[in-house]
């Protein structure tokens, strides 16, 4: 175990003697252990310490809040914390149910130190490899330009953990998320940390080819299979044998090709286009999409059986607006990268410019942020990126967000009235547009206006 990154453990049991003996065993091998005698006490400690734990070990049967209720609460509030449940021999069914609800493992009572340490070691090894930034970020940055996954936000910590789990398996992985969030990069990383890392990593975009061409891309073709097939050609599955195949934009695969893909995933066999020989392959499949596959299934444009074969391990990559705390780190990364490339001496980003970057919603995600920083570095003539170096759209968003309200009093009602009045004036009293800005329904807005004394609102409404 790394002395620099000891595992943080909180143990919960209403039997004090049991709690102390377990705690002593884990402390003796170097773990940092806190204890709580009830589920409620554990939650209060987690709240005080901002959930700064790697592992929760809890008894299932406790008075008040039981272990299952504690598991559910921790899963909702602190999803990054692993949970191990303790159970008596006659209550294994409860432990299995806890596993279904997200528990990492279960340990039978009476407490067996070797069994407990074996389970904890697996969590520890995951933390050491994937959360030690002294290795993780520099290594991946050198190999992949790992900018998309730089960050300390809870969302990115979840990605690290999901990648850690996924990389060690041989199961199919489905990466979902908006365009520009770094799904292809994650596919590279999963392959790099898998046991297939020395074998080929083959990728293709399913949206780039028509149906007939895509089948040839995936499965290859024999000479003479069609007019332009002057030679035999191996497909992507064949090229990826023993390695990893990454299929981007999987939602764009035509239905006929989806049928063939289902068979390949079932049997790991296929025939080249125009061929009769079955070709056996050993391929780990990673797929990605920005589309809602559940909706495509309802629309009958995506096969449900294919979805379940692709979605064995789902990983959702969050948009940049959901991890704004990572934006300053990303900005610093890109600033150094582009300053080095352009041989410019640029020291920092001004406070107002950084505020604008953090407040912007980034519909293009990491890709858009990268382009904005590249443009700013190229255009700036000073040693600091200022607000004037950013695009008008980003600056406009900043100005719209930075709102100063003049309040007659400090009550909530007065603040709500001032905000509604400001937005009404901004839209020339168009209720529909005002409701959209405030993210409420038009009916709710009208009710609030009547309650707050905007009696002439209906007359001024342009609609």
Distance CA 191, CA 244 (A): 7
pLDDT given for residue 92 in this prediction: 67
pLDDT given for residue 175 in this prediction: 95
Residue 85, helix vs strand vs coil: strand
Look up the CATH number of domain 412-460: 1.10.10
Query: Model's pTM, two decimal places?
Result: 0.56
Distance CA 297, CA 461 (A): 42
CATH class of segment(s) 138-316: alpha beta
pLDDT given for residue 21 in this prediction: 86
pLDDT given for residue 143 in this prediction: 47
Return all residues near 455 (Cβ < 8 A) that are at least 6 apart. Answer: none
pLDDT given for residue 81 in this prediction: 82
Going by the DSSP 8-state scheme, the letter that residue 110 receives in this structure is S
Residue 362 φ/ψ region, left for φ over 0, alpha for ψ in the -120 to 50 degree band, beta for the rest: left
Instruction: Rounding to the nearest 10 degrees, give the CA dihedral for residues 52, 58, 60, 62.
Output: -90
User: Kind of pairing, strands 278-280 and 269-271?
Assistant: antiparallel
Residue 372, helix vs strand vs coil: helix
Q: How far from each other are the two terminal CA atoms of the chain, in whole angstroms? A: 67
Report helix angle 255-267 to 211-219, nearest 10.
Answer: 20
Domain boundaries along the sequence of the chain: 8-126, 138-316, 320-401, 412-460
Residue 6, helix vs strand vs coil: coil
pLDDT given for residue 147 in this prediction: 44
pLDDT given for residue 144 in this prediction: 46
Distance CA 314, CA 163 (A): 10
pLDDT given for residue 224 in this prediction: 81
Q: Does domain 320-401 have CATH number 1.10.8.60?
A: yes
pLDDT given for residue 408 in this prediction: 65
pLDDT given for residue 405 in this prediction: 59
- Local confidence pLDDT in tens for the 463 residues of the chain: 444 557 889 999 988 888 888 888 888 888 899 999 999 999 999 888 877 788 899 988 888 899 889 988 887 777 768 888 888 755 667 777 777 777 877 888 777 788 788 878 777 765 543 344 333 444 444 444 444 466 667 777 778 778 877 888 888 999 999 988 888 888 988 888 888 888 989 988 898 887 778 888 899 888 887 777 778 888 899 999 999 999 999 999 999 899 999 999 888 898 888 888 889 999 999 999 999 999 999 999 999 999 999 999 999 998 988 888 888 888 888 888 888 888 888 888 887 788 788 888 899 998 899 999 999 999 888 888 988 888 888 876 644 445 555 666 666 777 778 788 878 877 778 787 788 778 787 777 887 888 887 755 444 443 3
* Same fold across 8-126 and 138-316: yes
Nearest CA to 230 out of 271, 274, 269, 270 is that of 274
Distance CA 52, CA 43 (A): 12
Residue 244, helix vs strand vs coil: strand
Q: Please name the fold of domain 8-126.
A: Rossmann fold (3.40.50)
Distance CA 283, CA 219 (A): 13
Contact call for residues 175 and 217 (beta carbons, < 8 A): no
């Amino acid at each position: 175990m790394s002395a620099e990154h000891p595992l943080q453990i909180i143990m919960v049991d209403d039997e004090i003697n049991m709690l102390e003996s377990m705690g002593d065993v884990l402390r003796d091998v170097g773990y940092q252990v806190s204890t709580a005698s009830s589920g409620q006490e554990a939650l209060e400690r987690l709240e005080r310490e901002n959930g700064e734990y790697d592992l929760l070990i809890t008894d299932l049967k406790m008075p008040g809040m039981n272990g299952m209720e504690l598991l559910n609460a921790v899963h909702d509030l602190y999803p990054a914390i692993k949970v191990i449940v303790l159970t008596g021999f006659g209550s294994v069914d409860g432990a299995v149910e806890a596993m279904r609800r997200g528990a990492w493992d279960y340990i039978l009572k009476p407490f067996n130190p070797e069994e407990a340490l074996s389970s904890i070691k697996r969590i520890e090894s995951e933390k050491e490899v994937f959360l030690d930034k002294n290795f993780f970020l520099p290594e991946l940055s050198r190999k992949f330009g790992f900018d998309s996954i730089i960050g300390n936000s809870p969302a990115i910590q979840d990605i690290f953990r999901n990648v850690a789990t996924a990389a060690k398996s041989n199961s199919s992985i489905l990466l979902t998320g908006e365009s520009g969030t770094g799904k292809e990069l994650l596919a590279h990383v999963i392959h790099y940390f898998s046991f297939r890392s020395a074998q080929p990593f083959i990728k293709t975009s399913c949206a780039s080819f028509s149906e007939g061409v895509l089948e040839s891309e995936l499965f290859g073709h024999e000479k003479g299979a069609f007019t332009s097939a002057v030679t035999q050609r191996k497909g992507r599955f064949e090229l990826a044998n023993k390695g990893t195949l990454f299929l981007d934009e999987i939602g764009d695969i035509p239905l006929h090709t989806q049928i063939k893909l289902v068979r390949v995933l079932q049997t790991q066999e296929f025939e080249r286009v125009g061929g009769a020989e079955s070709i056996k392959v050993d391929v780990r499949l990673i797929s990605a999409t920005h589309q809602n596959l559940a909706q495509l299934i309802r629309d009958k444009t995506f096969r449900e059986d294919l979805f379940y074969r692709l979605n064995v391990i789902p990983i959702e990559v969050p948009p940049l607006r959901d991890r704004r705390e990572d934006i300053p780190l990303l900005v610093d990364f890109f600033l150094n990268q582009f300053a080095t490339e352009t041989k410019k001496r640029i020291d920092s980003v001004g406070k107002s410019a950084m505020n604008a970057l953090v407040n912007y919603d980034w519909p293009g995600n990491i890709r858009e942020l990268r382009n904005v920083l590249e443009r700013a570095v190229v255009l700036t003539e000073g040693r600091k990126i200022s607000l004037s170096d950013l695009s008008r759209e980003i600056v406009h968003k900043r100005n719209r967000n930075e709102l100063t309200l003049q309040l007659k009093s400090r009550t909530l009602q007065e603040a709500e009235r001032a905000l509604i009045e400001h937005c009404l004036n901004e839209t020339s009293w168009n209720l529909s547009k005002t409701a959209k800005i405030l993210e409420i329904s038009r009916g709710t807005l009208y009710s609030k206006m009547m309650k707050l004394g905007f009696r002439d609102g209906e007359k001024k409404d342009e609609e």
